[in-house]
């Protein structure tokens, strides 16, 4: 991975934000800046039409997914060393082999794999290659992808792994109505728009976006509506936050201005996918916490982070459309959304434990050592996948399913379902 490593990219990025330091970032190119200015103009027009304010979730939706000029839909390269971040499949092909081992346990003879957020196509290529080697290829592999640019990149990556694998892949614009098999989503939930709130005493405010002149956007607050306020207080109370729902004079050491997020869109997505999963399992890998940890009193600035060229910062209004905007996942909310759709929670574990249970060490031991440099790079990548200081602990795997065994191999030794 280029840059400062996955812990800087996602999790440990908050140090500079919390200390108030600004991260020095090289400016984008002229054409890219022109696209960003056009996006600001469009969002500004929506803000004007809405009376001067929109929710942050709406802003995040447009910044990331505006057709043609959003972060994930525009022409800029966002994945890999030349982009803004590197995901686990791009670090090591062994990640995909472990995912494939879990998929193989769930797949029936005529089942399909459906992947969301396939990025560069690395995970799809790795999973299909491993399943081919094991003689357990699925009937087909569907990739839900709207970006024409990413589709072409995915096609090239999978073709390089074998033409017979590419023949199994189909691209679709929307969620299939009926799914039998396995749904995969690696680092997808964190990129779904979130609502941002601030709790002050017994009041809840929603943080949104307003104009700051003709060509800039910034934060603005308004009192949260009754539904949002109730949901925030309920979740804080459920999390065991000592200030949740209490008068300000009973809040003790909890910060007065507590800021965090609600991942309602991610939860709605899980519920929708779950309702269409006739039989099979969903395997979701992302960074985040159970609710009690997510809404910890010391996490008082929330988890919202931005990433540009492998550097992390906390200004979501810097170059809209040209930087990643993410928030950690409340896995308790994800589990509840799955349960509401009639799914069972099949397992919840740290990424490190999940990969180890899926045979990562055996796969690592099989790496040829005749090329010492290649072997060293691969083992270093594996260490980053497993290390508590990198991705091993912050990233989690959760499985939800219907009509399949709950004895999933990836969760046999340290299943944390009870923490949800």
pLDDT digits (tens, 9 = 90+) for 264-291: 999 999 999 999 999 999 999 999 999 9
Give the other-Cβ count within 10 Å of 206's Cβ. 22
Give the range of the structural domain holding residue 199, as residue numbers without chain letter. Answer: 6-81+194-262+299-326
Indicate the length of the chain as a whole number.
420
Q: Phi and psi dihedrals of 68, rounded to 5?
A: 85, -30
DSSP code at position 22: P
Judge whether residue 74 has pLDDT over 90.
Answer: no
Q: What is the pTM of this model?
A: 0.90
**Phi/psi zone of residue 294: left (φ > 0), alpha (ψ -120 to 50 degrees), beta?**
alpha
The pLDDT confidence band at residue 80, using thresholds 50, 70 and 90, is low
Whether 351 is in a domain gets the answer: yes
Q: Are 396 and 288 in contact (CB under 8 A)?
A: yes
The pLDDT confidence band at residue 68, using thresholds 50, 70 and 90, is very high
**How open is the CA angle 186-366-185, to the nearest 5 degrees?**
5
The pLDDT confidence band at residue 23, using thresholds 50, 70 and 90, is low
The pLDDT confidence band at residue 242, using thresholds 50, 70 and 90, is very low
Q: Are 385 and 342 in contact (CB under 8 A)?
A: no
Question: Given this model, what pLDDT does residue 77 score?
Answer: 62
The pLDDT confidence band at residue 311, using thresholds 50, 70 and 90, is confident
Question: Given this model, what pLDDT does residue 281 score?
Answer: 99
Question: Given this model, what pLDDT does residue 85 score?
Answer: 61
Whether 36 is in a domain gets the answer: yes
Three-state DSSP state, 347: strand
Judge whether residue 238 has pLDDT over 90.
Answer: no
Contacts of 213 (CB under 8 A, 6+ apart): none
The winner for highest mean pLDDT among 25-39, 75-89, 332-346 is 332-346
Q: Are 211 and 217 in contact (CB under 8 A)?
A: yes
Range name among 17-26, 49-58, 202-211, 365-374 with the lowest pLDDT average: 17-26
Whether 394 is in a domain gets the answer: yes
Which CATH number fits the domain that encloses residue 129?
3.40.50.12710
Q: Are 98 and 349 in contact (CB under 8 A)?
A: no
DSSP code at position 345: E
Judge whether residue 10 has pLDDT over 50.
Answer: no
Q: What proportion of the chain, given as a percentage, has pLDDT over 70?
A: 89
Q: What proportion of the chain, given as a percentage, has pLDDT over 90?
A: 74
Q: DSSP H helical segments within 83-225, as ranges?
A: 88-91, 93-106, 122-134, 148-161, 163-166
| Residues 271 and 349 occupy one common structural domain | yes
Tokens of 119: 């990025």
> What does the longest C-alpha to C-alpha distance in the chain come to?
67
Give dist(CA 76, CA 308) in Å, integer: 12
**196: β partners:** 207, 261
Give dist(CA 259, CA 205) in Å, integer: 9
Question: Given this model, what pLDDT does residue 243 score?
Answer: 46
Mean pLDDT of the 62-74 span: 93
Q: Are 389 and 326 in contact (CB under 8 A)?
A: no
pLDDT digits (tens, 9 = 90+) for 121-162: 999 999 999 999 999 999 999 999 988 888 999 999 999 999
| Residues 398 and 273 occupy one common structural domain | yes
Mean pLDDT of the 329-344 span: 98
| Residues 164 and 127 occupy one common structural domain | yes
| Residues 273 and 164 occupy one common structural domain | yes
Cα separation values, 237 from 327, 328, 376, Å:
21, 19, 47
| Residues 136 and 224 occupy one common structural domain | no
The pLDDT confidence band at residue 365, using thresholds 50, 70 and 90, is confident
Residue-by-residue DSSP string for 231-281: HHHHHHHHHT-TTTTS-GGG-TTS-SEEEEEE-HHHHHHHHHHHHHEEEEE
| Residues 112 and 231 occupy one common structural domain | no
Give dist(CA 30, CA 124) in Å, integer: 34
| Residues 279 and 343 occupy one common structural domain | yes
| Residues 284 and 170 occupy one common structural domain | yes
The total number of structural domains that make up the chain: 2
| Residues 384 and 277 occupy one common structural domain | yes
Whether 1 is in a domain gets the answer: no
pLDDT digits (tens, 9 = 90+) for 214-236: 899 999 999 999 999 999 999 99
| Residues 180 and 211 occupy one common structural domain | no
| Residues 408 and 361 occupy one common structural domain | yes
Give dist(CA 267, CA 151) in Å, integer: 26
């Amino acid at each position: 991975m280029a840059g400062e490593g996955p812990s800087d990219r996602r999790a440990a990025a908050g140090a500079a934000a919390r200390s108030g330091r600004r991260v020095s970032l090289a400016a984008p190119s002229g054409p890219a800046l022109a696209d960003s200015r056009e996006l600001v103009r469009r969002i500004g027009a929506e803000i004007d039409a809405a009376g001067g304010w929109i929710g942050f979730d709406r802003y995040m939706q447009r910044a990331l997914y505006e057709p043609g000029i959003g972060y994930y839909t525009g022409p800029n390269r966002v994945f890999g060393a030349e982009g803004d971040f590197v995901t686990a499949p791009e670090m090591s092909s062994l990640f995909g082999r472990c995912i494939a081992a879990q998929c193989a346990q769930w797949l029936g003879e005529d089942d399909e794999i459906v992947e969301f957020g396939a990025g560069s196509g690395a995970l799809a290529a790795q999973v299909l290659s491993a399943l081919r080697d094991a003689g357990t290829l699925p009937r087909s592999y569907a990739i839900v992808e709207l970006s024409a640019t990413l589709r072409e990149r995915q096609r090239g990556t999978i073709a390089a792994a074998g033409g017979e694998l590419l023949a199994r892949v189909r691209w679709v614009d929307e969620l299939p109505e009926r799914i039998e098999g396995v749904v995969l989503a690696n680092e997808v939930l964190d990129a779904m728009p979130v609502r941002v709130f601030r709790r002050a005493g017994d009041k809840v405010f929603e943080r949104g976006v307003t104009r700051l002149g003709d060509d800039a956007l910034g934060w603005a607050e308004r009192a949260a509506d009754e539904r949002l306020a109730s949901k925030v207080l309920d979740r804080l109370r459920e999390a065991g936050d000592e200030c949740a729902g209490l008068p300000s004079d009973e809040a003790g050491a909890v910060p007065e201005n507590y800021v965090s997020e609600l991942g309602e869109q991610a939860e709605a997505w899980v519920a929708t996918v779950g309702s269409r999963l006739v039989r099979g399992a969903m395997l979701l890998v992302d960074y985040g916490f159970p609710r009690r940890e997510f809404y910890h009193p010391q996490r008082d600035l929330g988890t919202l982070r931005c990433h540009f060229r492998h550097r992390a910062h906390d200004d979501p209004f810097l170059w809209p459309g040209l930087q990643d905007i993410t928030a950690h996942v409340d896995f308790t909310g994800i589990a509840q959304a799955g349960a509401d759709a009639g799914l069972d929670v099949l397992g919840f574990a740290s990424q490190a434990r999940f990969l180890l249970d899926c045979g990562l060490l055996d796969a690592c031991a099989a790496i040829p050592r005749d090329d010492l440099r290649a072997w060293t790079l691969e083992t270093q990548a594996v260490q980053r996948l497993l290390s508590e200081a990198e991705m091993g602990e912050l990233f989690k795997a959760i499985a939800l399913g219907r009509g399949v065994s709950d004895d999933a191999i990836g969760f046999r030794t340290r299943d944390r379902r009870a923490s949800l």
